[in-house]
Structure 1
């Protein structure tokens, strides 16, 4: 089969399209012939050797949608020819509050979805909702699951609350926007790109500010009147702005820090406002099913920005590094 293989850290030239053996399924596993896969920022970190547990050679990719072609012993409910999506959160563990010691994400160190075939545990496979296209199905899992847990399990979002999503445009941010709007929240966004703010408003956001402008935090405070829940993936100075935006008793959910540590955190603001600061990552199997049910109930279609053929994987990585997308970057797998 054709697969993207990374043999050492480096630039996009380290993404090699090679012929490798088709995986053989074991007990409790299924083999999926992929139609589409999706990209995540994590794939870039893996290529650069900046992700925990990186081992080479490696086939990257966490997200995928395809057709079951064979099943291992003990697999029930998934027959040959089933159209499926993959839950990339492997071995969550026994406690729904946090991951266990065996937890990992498909793609590292387990070979992932940027290939024609992938094998995964049957418990990590769900049937693809018929209303989703193949590319939409591939786009949903990792980023959608992360957003679902952040909003509803950790953030306990309720109808009518005010939500801020910094850095709109990336995959998780667009899923956060779709889900928050669907439950009747008042959503505001930030971006350095006015067109992305405009796109967010078309999808139901109440407004947004350009974080390149001076005093954007004050501008957003005037616009919102205060925030009930912020979902942060940026860290750095942005996190301090979110603390100032927060209403007393409100929540900040965090699962990323793309700009680095938070400088000069003013702790008295945190405790005098009685703020809840909540960490999260990925989600449980039950939350993954909840995500699928949510999108089906509300007839929401994931936003796909661009589709690249797998053969253009180097171009796709370069495009993601530029940060100009709005929604998910998807890979079409050769059949």
Structure 2
């Protein structure tokens, strides 16, 4: 079947590790179900996989992709929940130390078909376009959990989101503003900041710019480049939620003195549960939230979409249709 897959590893030129063509998918458990994919979306996780991060040589070739939506054998439209718990795990699947995501141990969603546990098929709400549904299960679910599970904020609170335009950042802006939060963003690009304001952000600031006042919470997915600014922008007793390190995991200054002296909370966050994905879909439907989409391309043009993600020019999600 047609798929976009990691054929090799290349830490310096990840697109060189990408192949788009026919491939026989790897084995999956016999009791999993087939989903015929209609659309899928890219995430930075896919680029990390091409670089060899979390995807060792012995698992190659591997079909990429965590986001996707399609139809089951009986015609039900479903969103793919890509967190795969280990056998016998009960409870919050994101806390399972042996959990994986699609495209790590088992083939992912950038393909004509994917196999998943039946419990990981979440019905698409009536009226939601399939391209929108295909964006939800990774960056949007990550943003939802960061805001409404980990950050501890309430309507009227101010939340700073580092790095306007990324999938998680744009999702957080849309979700937070719809929930009555005052969303601020930072960006190196003034136009990307303006677009974030159009999505619902109250204000956009330059990277590292001093803010008018301290934020109640900060959402951090950039890492090294913005960490110090995130800590300095947080009010005493506030919460910094981190779910990614796209600029690197080792900041020049960890700001440990400021963190303990001002009694800040640093909270890690990874993806979300199936129940949270269901809640997210219901919230988006009730508020009429449509995910910011940068572009929609057919699957056979996946290389162009990857080039856009690697180049950092995309604003919102990059969607591939099957």
Same fold, judged at TM 0.5 (above): yes
For the pair 1:327 / 2:316, whether they are aligned, the reply is: yes
Would the alpha carbon gap of residues 242 and 312 (structure 1) be closer, same or farther in structure 2, given more than 3 Å must change? same
Secondary structure at 1:321's aligned position in 2? helix
Structure 2: gaps spanning 5 or more residues: none
For 2:224, which of 236, 257, 263 is the aligned residue? 236
**Which residue in the other structure is 1:2 paired with?**
2
Which residue of 2 is the match for residue 32 of structure 1?
A: 35
- Give the C-alpha shift of residue 319 in structure 1: 0.9
Measured in 2, the distance between the counterparts of 1:237 and 1:17 equals 33
Question: Within 5 Å, which residues of 2 pair with 1:193-272?
Answer: 193-211=189-207, 216-218=208-210, 220=211, 222=212, 225-260=213-248, 261-272=250-261
Q: 1:313 and 1:14 mapped to 2: Cα distance?
A: 13
Tell me the equivalent position of 2:176: 180
| Farther-moved stretch of structure 1 (52-61 vs 199-208) | 52-61
Residues 142 and 207 (structure 1 numbering): CA distance in 2 closer, same or farther, change over 3 Å? same
| Corresponding position: 1:58 with 2:57 | no
By how many angstroms is 1:51 displaced? 2.6
User: Match of 1:173, SS?
Assistant: helix
2:285 to 274, 296, 303: 296
**Partners of 1:18 and 1:137 in 2: how far apart?**
24
Query: Is 1:149 matched with 2:145?
Result: yes
Distance 1:26 1:256 in 2: 30
1:33, CA displacement in angstroms? Answer: 0.8
CA radius of gyration, larger in: 1
Matched residue of 1:217: which SS?
coil
Change (3 A) 1:17 1:239: closer
Is 1:84 aligned to residue 78 of structure 2? Answer: yes
Instruction: Give the Cα–Cα distance (whole angstroms) in 2 for the partners of residues 205 and 176 of structure 1.
Output: 10
Give the Cα separation in 2 of the matches to 1:268 and 1:16. 47
Q: Does 1:277 align with 2:266?
A: yes
Aligned residues: 315
- 1:283-310 CA-to-partner distances (Å, cap 9, x unmatched) read 1222121211211221211111111211
1:305 pairs with 2:294:
yes
For the 8 Å contact 2:25–2:63, the answer to whether it is kept is no
Q: Which SS does the other structure have where 1:45 is aligned? A: helix
Cα distance in 1 between the residues matched to 2:51 and 2:69? 26
8 Å contact kept, 2:85–2:93: no
Q: TM-score, normalised by structure 2?
A: 0.92
- Report the Cα offset of residue 277 of structure 1: 0.6
For 1:17-76, what per-residue CA distance to the aligned partner results, in whole angstroms no more than 9, with x for missing partners?
Answer: 33234788865422111111110011111111123556201111111111112xxxxxxx
Structure 1: tracts of 5 or more residues without a match = 70-79
CA contact (8 A) 1:23 1:117 kept: no
Q: Describe the shift of the 1:266–1:17 C-alpha distance in structure 2 as closer, same or farther (beyond 3 A).
A: closer
Secondary structure of the corresponding residue to residue 318 of structure 1: helix
What is the match of residue 134 of structure 1?
Answer: 130
Range 4-13 or range 109-118, more displaced: 4-13
Deviation by residue 1:177-212 (Cα, 9 ceiling, x = unmatched): 11110111111101111111111111221111121x
